[in-house]
Chains A and B, each alone.
Chain A
Amino acid sequence: MKHLRPQEHWGWIIAIYLYLAGMGAGSYIIGAIINWFINPSRVVLIRGLALDPAKAALLWGPILVAIGTPFLILDLGIKKRFLYACLNPRTSWVARGFLILSIFIVFGLVLFAKSVLPFGWLHAESDLWYIPEVIAIAFAFGTAIYTGILLKATKSIPLWNTYLLPLLFLVSALSTGSMAIILSTLGTGLFSHDAGALEVLISGEQILVVIEGIVLYLYLSRRYRVSEQGKDSVRLLLFGKKKLIFWGGIVLLGFIFPFVLETIAAFSHGNVVLIFVSGLTLLCGGFFLRLGVLSAGIKEQIPMQRWTEFQYDLKGTK
């Protein structure tokens, strides 16, 4: 196991950034679709202001993404220069991500404010609002996929260099995002006039968990076969130092607990406590998925080093 030395430059801070960006974007996609087709509304008066918490529960995704972005800044060497990060969108995925997330946050927050706050002069019922809504959903998709593409762009780490990673992070974003919506509406009665919506959401959530499990299996099995370092990364995650993150954090908290608890909840007439606990474990699982993938990334061996080891038959002796 001497050769299993994963990268240490991107750690838990970047994992939180990727997680919140993914969950916020996924939550917005699911929330906006529910808002289009079911359009739940419950206006309450708070200090004379007519607010709509049902819309807030559906469309709060951009706030999560906005909370996540400071974590990227926190990881920078010189934090005050963070605005420079958008100067090279032609070739850099960090710069492209900066722009994608910024556009999503701006559009998402404007739509959130329009839906929740009583700004009559905004003409909330106008069909023209569909244009920014479609743009926001497109950029929410972009944000969810970008979290995987950022890692995929690192070609020298075989564990990350695959299109299955953006797909895995997209499915995880939708799964954690829909759970964030379920949790934010749970017990508040916001969907009480349409209890079917919550049931559909929970069933959809279970399907997403199953799809995520399948994609994770495909991802790891393909990476195991791709190269020596890909194999080392998967071994590190499954049987090495990171096995607690994988088996405890990803498999148990992210897949088994939520699936079992949600199934039990379905048979106990939607037990709120069970759904709440399963939601929390699933959200933790989403974070550990990012942390596991990040922390198990092993770089390809430097060509000259590999050549020297080959030439002098030094493999495994360093």
Chain B
Amino acid sequence: MEERVLVVDQQKCTGCRQCELVCSVYHTGSSNPSRSRIKVVKWEHAGIYLPLICNHCEKAYCLEVCPTKACHREPELNNRVVIDKKLCIGCKTCIMACPFSHPFFDIKEQVTVKCDYCDGDPQCVAFCYAKAVFFTDADKIQMSKKREAANKFLESLKQIR
């Protein structure tokens, strides 16, 4: 099965924070952005918005530091890294370890929560009208990144000439 990943195109994001709302509704039943698994960082004066998502890293620090194995990888479901709420003790070690500040402490449930790709149908992708967040094949995005890097290299070569 093809592995799919969440990708953000920061230049398309309008900062509407619809993704935060739908994420919190899907996971908690309440429209409360503070309980969302996706966070939009804003530079309001410059009109720049950056949705921050979990990268489900190959070498996931959250997974390494979890003392209970609540944080684990599911290779069969897009190789996602998820937290089992029934095992989580709320020690917040994963929050401290993540360099992307991703897992969040849910005050209401008293456990740490993180993106789980909404079990294969990410709501942030479904409701993003600007198409700033998309769920795509990992290989495809690798290829597009390589293409982008090659184009940049070509441009810089042209400038030198």
Contact = CB atoms under 8 A, between A and B. Distances in A.
Interface of A: 7, 9-10, 75-78, 81-82, 84-88, 91-95, 98, 153-157, 299-300, 302-305, 308, 312, 314, 317-318
Given A155-B61, A302-B101, A92 B111 contact: no
Interface string B1-32: 00000001010000000000000000000000
A93 B65 contact: yes
B46 A314 contact: yes
A77 B10 contact: no
Contacts of A92: 64-67, 93
Contact of A91 (B52, B65, B91): B65
Given A156-B96, A157-B96, A304-B52, A77 B105 contact: yes
Contacts of B96: 7, 9-10, 154, 156-157
A84 B67 contact: yes
B49 to A, nearest CB: 9
B46 A94 contact: no
Given A9-B96, A318-B43, A305 B50 contact: yes
Given A77-B88, A302-B52, A308 B105 contact: no
Interface residues of B, number: 37
Contacts of A77: 88-92, 105, 109-112
Q: Which of B87, B95, B96, B110: most chain A CB closer than 10 A?
A: B96
Interface string B82-117: 000001111111011111110001000111100000
Interface of B: 8, 10, 41, 43, 45-46, 48, 50, 52, 61, 63-70, 87-93, 95-101, 105, 109-112
| Nearest 9 Cβ contacts at the A-B interface | A77-B90, A77-B110, A94-B67, A95-B67, A84-B68, A92-B67, A9-B92, A156-B99, A91-B64
Contact of B43 (A88, A157, A312): A312
Given A78-B89, A94-B65, A302 B100 contact: yes
Contact of A9 (B64, B67, B105): B105
Name the prevailing secondary structure of the A interface residues.
loop
A306 to B, nearest CB: 11
A11 to B, nearest CB: 11
Contacts of B89: 76-78, 81-82, 84-85
A98 B67 contact: yes
Given A77-B89, A85-B68, A92-B65, A305 B45 contact: no
Contact of B48 (A299, A302, A314): A314
B105 A317 contact: no
Q: Which of A91, A98, A157: most chain B CB closer than 10 A?
A: A91
Contacts of A84: 67-68, 70, 87, 89
Nearest to A75: B91
B83 to A, nearest CB: 12
Given A9-B105, A95-B67, A153-B65, A76 B97 contact: no
Contact of A94 (B61, B91, B95): B91
Nearest to A7: B96
A94 B52 contact: no
A78 B67 CA distance: 14
Given A76-B89, A94-B93, A308-B50, A300 B99 contact: yes
Nearest to A88: B69
Given A76-B89, A154-B96, A87 B68 contact: yes
A206 B101 CA distance: 42
B161 to A, nearest CB: 26
Contacts of A305: 41, 50, 52
Contacts of A87: 67-69, 87
Nearest to A96: B67
13 contacts: A7-B96, A9-B96, A87-B67, A88-B67, A91-B63, A91-B64, A92-B64, A92-B67, A92-B93, A93-B65, A156-B96, A305-B50, A314-B48
